[in-house]
Structure 1
Amino acid sequence: MTPSHHPTAVATRLLTALIVALAALTVTPAAQAPRAEVIDRIVAKINGDIITLHDLRRAAGPYVLSLNRDPDELNNPEFARTIYGDVLDDMINTRLLLQQARELQLEISDDDVTRWIGSIASRQQLKVEQFRDALKSKGVSWQDYRRFVHDNLLKFRVIQIKLGSRIKITDDELSKAYADRFGQEPKRVKTVRLSQILIRTPEDDPDLAKRGEQLVKDTYQRLQSGEDFGDVAREVSMGSTAENGGILPDPFQPGALPPAFEEAVFATKEGEFTAPIYGRSGYSIFLVRQIEFQLDDKVQQQLDQLRNVLYEAELNKSLTSWIDTLRKRAYIETMFDKKP
């Protein structure tokens, strides 16, 4: 068995086909030369299932597409000799996983297949009919391609059930991987959760403004005397969150508040409130309900992407080991001379 046909290498290609390649196919129309007719024969037996030369040929086109390669390359004898061995190994792995799916009584509906193909076509900015015509121009029948998608979706479901739930990427593993890639630990920024009492002091009405300023002083004194911030907010605040005790729903990072507000709230300790601060809408008093140190949006996005990379790597290792185990336990006989 050559290295390119080893089950471990094939498992890696299988995972790529399951998770990545199905959503990244590029199909461009081209003519395909006809092949000479060959009498059908059995090329592999797997636990009582058989794979024929006809099956192998039908699977080759979709498999080559899943590698983002042109099925016309199958007309190249050197390429065909290499790829048909890979296709057969992939088909053996597929049969083993589909046998697992039967044991688990898993099914993929026609609607599931149709939705996936629609998604793939959309990513290529094609209508499904155009995508179908493009496949046909490559010598890949619609029935064969639907079967390819069906089997890959079923394999993916088996893998998720058998392996996916067991894989956990810890925060420590993620932080270490981030530091290895970006040269530093994930940077966290200080955020604050706030409540607000807003008292409006309209500039165009001096009397209202004066009464508002007095209300601000009285309110601040009440808070200093120990009255509950939420109760006072419900009574006197003129902001939209007054009914909720002045609670503002989202945490605030630096740069999210006007400079005067930001300077005051970020200098205030958790559980304490600011002095009255004048702004465009009037005077505000903020209670710093909670101080947190959170990842900024860019770092969080980088971590999410990195977590997916680590998860796929761990899933790939687990899949490689599991397929090796399935192959060792299975009865597999191949009768293929690489001359399709």
Structure 2
Amino acid sequence: MKKKIILTVGLVLTVAAVVTAVALGPKFKKNDDNKNNNESARFGFEALKINGEYISADDFNEEYRLFYEKYKNNGEMLQKGDEERYDILLDEITNKYVLEDYFENKSKVNVSDEEVEAYVAKYVKPRYSNSEEQSAYYQIMGFADEEDMKKNIKDYLVKQQVYFDAATKYGVTLTDDESNKAYETHKQHNIKVDLKNILIAINESRTKEQAEEIANNVYSKLKEGASFEELVSQYSDDSRSKENGGKKQDVIQGYNGADFDKAVFNAKEGELLEPIYLTRGYEIVLVEKIKDYTHPQEEYSEIVLVEKFLNSDKYVEWLESIKKDYQIEITGPQYKAFRAYKNEKYEEAGLLYQQAYEKTKDLNYIERACESYSLAENWDELIKVCQIGYKARPDNILFYIHEAKGIYKSGNQEEGLKKMKAATSKAKDSVYYLGMIRNTYEELGLTDEAEKINLQ
């Protein structure tokens, strides 16, 4: 039997894009021949086919919504053009649906209900002690209810086991330093303390020595059995906890200084600590409850290994090997056109952009077809698509410029120059179009004509 790795609930969110999103993703939807015109015009309609089945327009649009939410504040993504973003979207949709099918039908990894129950008992239930805390925890983690929580954990454990096996197979390893650093961070965030505190502040009216003297006096009273709550009310300068009897819950390391962490996180439950010097003053702490959610280091190192794998080139290599067993076909001509274009297959790209225009009547695709045929040096096709363009949009001077270039390059230089001058006349005082005309003259080697174009 394969070794099962036990994982933190927190990682359900950490690798959500690869795990939870896949688990919740919709199934492939078979094509329906009875489609109406409105459906065929929708974004993503019959754009992508996996194993002979189309991703439905509904699913495609939902994936686009998620894609937008994921990248809407990503500067690098915002600088990309629409076509490049859609190309990335297609890859993400493909990967998601392939992984969904692979995990469910091909991975041969199963997690039993008993294993899920054991996981919940060990790592989930200790995080809440009543129904209110349970509801709050479910909300934070995005679980609708207990059944949904168990389903997500089961899916998560299956996927993590697959990833762990793949990481091992592809030779991904952790150094001792990586393991130790990751485990120290893990401990900092997964050992939590409920405590009561009294802060004797150092401020404009109280020196460090005076604060220390008061703190020692308060500490002595507590040792003698005085009420912590009463002394909080009388002495504490901590505005966040004073009204609550000094109570603070789920305190973790890294926020109060090394001396505080050393004292508090090495204490025992019920221990009253001597005044701890902080930059803001002296703090007296009563440790009430220590909540340790940490994993053994060896176990946690397996979790870190999976994370490292998911962010490595080895993961991409593994994913591509899986995709070879799937028939993946981009069927939307506009998406196929861009892929042909970026792979410098300009002749093919021009034809596909024409098909995209015929399907959508979006003239942007005619502009892209012009650009593609120009790069392919197919002047006859360039002239034809330009004529389609300016018949639909006589005010778009780019089509006249491209046509003139095509005519000139095809050997009819006199007619090409005549068309360029006509384009210049149509451009009037548009700096943009005049700039394009000047660039085209220069591209044709007609520097004298280019210098006649006044861009001032």
TM-score above 0.5, yes or no: no
- Normalised to the residue count of structure 1, the TM-score between the two structures is 0.41
Give the structure, 1 or 2, with the largest relative contact order (CA under 8 Å, sep 6 or more): 1
- Normalised to the residue count of structure 2, the TM-score between the two structures is 0.33
